[in-house]
Structure 1
Amino acid sequence: MNQLKTIADEVLPVYEKDTGEKLVSARELHQQLFSKQEFVNWIKRRIDNYGFIEGEDFLTTLSKSTGGRPSTEYLLLLDTAKEVAMVENNEQGRAIRKYFIQVEKQSKVEQPKTQLEILQGTINQMVMQEKDIKQIKQENEALKHRMDNYDKIDQLGDLQQRLNNMIRKYAAQNGIAFPEAWRHFRRSFNNSYRTNIKTLMKNFQTKHGLKSITAPQYLSMSGRLEDAVRVADKMLNQQTFLTNKELI
């Protein structure tokens, strides 16, 4: 008993070994249950009736001799002590069982982390920091690429000229013809704004009695050039975003 640490003592002492096992003195439990049976008969009957195994469910030790024959002391594992308290089938036994359950819950909350858990937590934190650094680098590369694109596109002139220059640059980047690049643009525009630019152009043409209209003309006349430039900008930077994702 001297090598045991007391971790709770509100109702009766609960002890803990250096291995973390939690134990209860059967003699102290017997006293707290107010049992009228003699302790030796009481504990032996519990062990026999419920098949408790020494070394698994309880431990035994000899008390210090005070001149007479040393007595056998029984240390019950906490689960065993809960079962012994429950089978008393009275209010005191049920109250003590609840006390043991509460001690067990509190012990789990306060249990310190092992060195392995601390190391794993440190590693997890380092991995998260590395991911954050990669994300920052990715965002910086995307921003640099975007600024480079703006530097290479003539910012002078109206939005329609700028849009044409961006579509032309997209065609050069992807090795496709200028009309094909415009088809890519129309598809991206439709996906971005959940619409159909061909239908919009046809309705606009009918409404205003126009013989024909091109996509740049429609976007300019309908006031949607700024929307179109945003779509073209995403198209120009899409390849960079895909490349960055592959690096993660």
Structure 2
Amino acid sequence: MNQLKTIANEMLPVYENESGEKLVSAKELHTQLFSKQKFTDWIKRRIDNYGFVEGEDFFITLGKSTGGRPSTEYLLLIDTAKEIAMVENNEQGRAIRKYFIEVEKRSRVKQPKSQAEMMLMFAEQFVNQEKEIKQIKQDNQTLKHRMDNYDNLDTVGDLQQRLNKMIQKYAGQNGISYSTAWRDFRKSFNTAYRTNLKMLITNYALKHNLKSLSAPQYLSIVNRLEDGVRVADKMLNQSKREVI
């Protein structure tokens, strides 16, 4: 035990050896679990019942002698200690298991061992922060671009009128005909919602004996104009003509 380093000691000590293994004293765990069983009986039952293997799940060492026979010390790997705490099936056992998990989380945070490592860690944090700031600026620019598109549209009227004007704007932005813009819209709508808009419109028109039925009219009938506006918005905010 003297060669172990204590890395946590809130509910009970958690140790670490030279290999980085995290260990818990079985006696200390037994005491903290408030078990009424005799320790030697308790630990032997746990080892036998759950198939723990010496050298893999726990280690046995001899404690200091006080004039008689040295006591046997059981050092449990933290995973073994978690399992033993869990099988107690009480609030204290569950609390100790959560404590072990928290200790493991804290230990996974790499601590710099030298000034050079500390400087490298700060440099990496700075680079990551710069990336995050750049991404935020890009997101803000995209949002501004979208708001400008809405501001430049005459949005007075219903969603059907708005969708028509968004497709008109898309056609103007890309130097294509209005009919080609609507064809791009149908392809984008189909990709976004895994459907076939042209077939849906045709089938609906045949079923209801309609001579003609436009995409905005159909979307209005089936209450999907908002979906159409979302697709048109994405088309308008692409850096170049690219059907989604």
Q: TM-score band, normalised by the shorter chain?
A: 0.5 to 0.7
User: Which residue pairs with 2:43 in the alignment?
Assistant: none
Displacement after TM superposition at 1:212 (Å): 2.4
Displacement after TM superposition at 1:238 (Å): 1.9
Match status 1:118 vs 2:118: yes
User: Which residue pairs with 2:237 in the alignment?
Assistant: 237
User: Which residue pairs with 2:175 in the alignment?
Assistant: 175
In 2: Cα distance, 1:170 partner to 1:188 partner: 13
| Residues 183 and 220 (structure 1), Cα distance of their counterparts in 2 relative to 1, 3 Å cut | same
| Residues 111 and 145 (structure 1), Cα distance of their counterparts in 2 relative to 1, 3 Å cut | closer
**Greater Rg over alpha carbons, structure:** 1
Displacement after TM superposition at 1:230 (Å): 1.0
User: Which residue pairs with 2:214 in the alignment?
Assistant: 214
Which residue type is aligned with residue 222 of structure 2? S
In 2: Cα distance, 1:147 partner to 1:111 partner: 45
Match status 1:165 vs 2:165: yes
Q: Is the 8 A contact 2:112 2:121 kept in 1?
A: no
Structure 1 segments unaligned to the other structure (5+ residues): 1-7, 12-21, 23-90, 93-101, 103-108, 243-248
Which residue type is aligned with residue 173 of structure 2? Q
Structure 2 segments unaligned to the other structure (5+ residues): 5-17, 19-60, 63-76, 78-107
| Residues 111 and 184 (structure 1), Cα distance of their counterparts in 2 relative to 1, 3 Å cut | closer
User: Which residue pairs with 1:190 in the alignment?
Assistant: 190
In 2: Cα distance, 1:231 partner to 1:10 partner: 65
Displacement after TM superposition at 1:221 (Å): 2.0
Displacement after TM superposition at 1:225 (Å): 1.1
In 1: Cα distance, 2:211 partner to 2:111 partner: 81
Aligned Cα root-mean-square deviation (Å): 3.3
In 2: Cα distance, 1:111 partner to 1:150 partner: 49
| Residues 117 and 160 (structure 1), Cα distance of their counterparts in 2 relative to 1, 3 Å cut | same
Runs of 4+ in 1 over 3 A off after TM superposition: 8-11, 109-112
User: Which residue pairs with 1:143 in the alignment?
Assistant: 143
User: Which residue pairs with 2:226 in the alignment?
Assistant: 226
In 1: Cα distance, 2:186 partner to 2:3 partner: 76
Q: How many residues align?
A: 145
Structure 1-normalised TM-score?
Answer: 0.52
Which residue type is aligned with residue 227 of structure 1? D
Structure 2-normalised TM-score?
Answer: 0.52
**1:54-88 residue CA offsets vs partner (Å, 9 max, x unmatched):** xxxxxxxxxxxxxxxxxxxxxxxxxxxxxxxxxxx
In 2: Cα distance, 1:173 partner to 1:200 partner: 28
